A and B are shown apart, each in its own frame.
Chain A
Amino acid sequence: MNFSQAIREAIESLSANKLRSGLTMLGIIIGVAAVIAMLAVGAGAQNTITGSISGIGSNLLFVFSGNMQEQVRNEQPLTLDDANAIADPFQVPSVAAVAPVVQGNAKVTFAGEVANTSIMGVTPDSQIVRNYELTEGVFISEDDMLARASVAVLGPDLAEKLFGRRDGVVGETIRVEGQPFRVIGLLQSKGGSTFGSQDDVLLAPMTTTTARLIRRTRERVDVIYVQAINPDQVSQASEEIAEVLRQRHRTLLGEDDFTVFSQQDFVATAQTITNVLTIFLGGIAAISLLVGGIGIMNIMLVSVTERTREIGLRKAIGARRRDILIQFLTESSLLSLFGGLIGIGLGYLIAFIVGRVAAASGTPFIPQVSLDAILLATLFSTAVGLFFGLYPANRAAGLEPVEALRYE
């Protein structure tokens, strides 16, 4: 018996019992659809997170004080002078721009509306480094810095909380910790909520902030954002920054008392998290495939019993053990292969709908069905059919012709 005949016969016998075959496939269909949808949603989530990390800026490095791996004695804080040193193009040629930040929380009020929000003291360069786009007004300028002006740039979510709208807020005066600030600009939404809302913030000049809102000794800063001149120079920039800071902190020999973290590091961490999620969801999907496989085994056993006489007859006219084995294995793997293919379609549809729902609720999120996932699902479902078909097929192949022929 050759292969195409075996397949033709299997299709004939499966279609002789359409409802039963359909119901049996359902288990596999659901399992595979779950796998495909999970993987698609996982990949989509990963892209969204990666995207929102890139949304912070491009070619970014983050410098924190302290060392996350080792205990360091005499830890020195990061200061504005450190930031200025990193900005020096002769010492640190791979760096394009530097934005030191002090941050904290504050109570912001306007006409009876109260919002607790995160406030950041920034320099004008942070507009470039952090990719801030404005929908109206202007960003904080050098003049504001020098004058320690009481001006603020608002994130759109904060504007919504205070004014109930996302436009026409420039010129209003709000109170931050009781002190009046004039709104000079409104940020464009960054979307994404991976690092808390990037839209629920208030930006003020660094000088004003340290003088009036967040007291800091010796011009301390919390984070220094650094932009490398291009993506390839990120690790180079990281080295150069570390070199400068070691000199300035006199820690050339001991452990560093600061940490340089790149955007890629964040992306890698986020990927690990989504990978774990994908594996977990994939596990659930695998279990439903397993259940589907048991369904196939069950129905194949029934089918073998029903067709005992047929098997006896086939053996009587010369079918070998192998021929019967192939016949039933072909049926079970075709059953699960078809189930798999339909499942892929259904999974695709589910992923598409999830994407639509997410888009409708304001989180741009595009599920991705990869070729890998499709191949994996096809292969896996066929393997399930083969594996769970093995026992029934073996039973059929092992029947004695006389006894099978006598079976009623």
Chain B
Amino acid sequence: MSAPDAVIRAVELTKTYRMGEVDVHALNGASLEIYRGEVVAITGPSGSGKSTMMNILGCLDRPTSGEYYLDGELVSSLNDDQLAAVRNRKVGFVFQSFNLLSRTTALANVELPLRYAGITKGRTDRARQALVAVGLANRIHHRPTELSGGQQQRVAIARALVNDPAMLLADEPTGNLDSHSGKEIMELILTLNKERGTTIVIVTHDPAIAAQTQRTIRIMDGKVEQPEAAR
């Protein structure tokens, strides 16, 4: 049996924050693997280190120690510009609080990653297609303030997908939404996995959402809980 293709392989990650005299171990030797095309939920109590883990997986932050391989590449060996390129091309990040640029339209927000990728040809078309894919065909020229929360999160998802990343990382994507639009966003994310095969990692507190995924990873006190491996 050939080893499954791991998009993410994290080995003994630690992240330590120094708060004055005491060290806070946000991650304390967490290891996990996520395979291509999977939909995985990360759960755990508040303060257990889920967001810290996601930031490292998304190359927004560097671990204090441990090794992280993304698509087989050792991330800690990359310099800042290479990290920026990885964030741009391989990772799509969706935040709890949307994080859209409020001055510009949905289209311009979605175009932004393409701009940083240096793509000029067909850029607007690609951005428009991404917006159509998340069901916002008729809101393309709206600004974030003119959109509902659910619609804003759709724009954020379109932005995360426009560069066709290997994986989509979502840190509590439905946390700021009512249950109805939360469900719609989850449906959208699952559809994207089916249609494009994008690997998806979702941090959530909601058991209902976790139940929709193929696998759940529990984080406790900065470590990955083991029963998972038995499955």
A residues sitting closer than 8 Å to B (CB atoms) are 1-2, 5, 12-13, 16, 309-310, 313-323, 400-402, 405
Contacts and interface: CB of A to CB of B under 8 A. Distances in A.
Interface string B74-86: 0000001100110
Interface of B: 55, 58, 60-61, 80-81, 84-85, 87-89, 93, 95, 99, 101, 103-104, 112-113, 115-118, 120, 159-160, 163
23 contacts: A1-B116, A1-B118, A5-B115, A12-B103, A16-B103, A313-B99, A314-B116, A315-B87, A316-B58, A316-B87, A317-B87, A317-B113, A318-B84, A318-B87, A318-B117, A319-B116, A320-B84, A320-B85, A323-B116, A401-B60, A401-B61, A402-B61, A405-B95
B60 A321 contact: no
A12 B104 contact: yes
B63 to A, nearest CB: 12
Contacts of B89: 318
A13 B81 contact: no
Chain A interface secondary structure, helix, strand, loop or mixed? helix
A318 B116 contact: yes
Contacts of B101: 310, 313
Contacts of B104: 12
Contacts of A323: 116
B93 A317 contact: yes
B60 A402 contact: yes
Contacts of A405: 60, 95, 99
A306 to B, nearest CB: 12
The 7 closest A-B pairs by CB, nearest first: A318-B88, A318-B116, A320-B84, A402-B61, A401-B60, A313-B99, A317-B113
Contacts of B160: 317
A330 to B, nearest CB: 14
Contact of B93 (A16, A314, A316): A316
A320 B80 contact: yes
B115 A13 contact: no
Contacts of B55: 402
Nearest to A15: B103
A321 B81 contact: yes
Contacts of B81: 320-322
Contact of B88 (A2, A5, A310, A317): A317
B190 to A, nearest CB: 23
Contact of A317 (B80, B103, B112): B112
Contacts of A5: 115
